[in-house]
Amino acid sequence: MICEVCGVGERRDQLIRYSLSIGDGLVVIDHVPATVCDHCGETSLRPDIVDSLQRTIWQRRAPTPVIETPVYEFAS
């Protein structure tokens, strides 16, 4: 299907890495089904996938694996 944002690219199903900042923490979930435009990168998630993400995040299940992420301050 043609991307409704750029009108140029083709939207395709793929697995993405979803990340969300919560307070001082960062939650990362791999292999999330999404549709992504191959031209502009616009990403969409189905409502049932969003529900599943919310359950995963709020249940605070033990993650596998745990990664360390450096954080830098923006300097102009």
What pLDDT, on the 0 to 100 scale, is given for residue 68?
A: 85
Token representation of residue 47: 């409502």
- pLDDT classification of 67: cutoffs 50, 70, 90: confident
Give one DSSP letter per residue of 12-76, joined into a string.
EEEEEEEEEEETTEEEEEEEEEEEEETTT--EE--HHHHHHHHHHHHHTPPPSS-----------
Mean pLDDT of the chain: 91
pLDDT, tens only, 8-32: 999 999 999 999 888 888 889 999 9
From 2-6, 16-20, 22-26, 47-51, the region with the lowest mean pLDDT = 22-26
Could you count the other beta carbons within 10 Å of the beta carbon of residue 74? 4
* pLDDT at 56 > cutoff 90: no
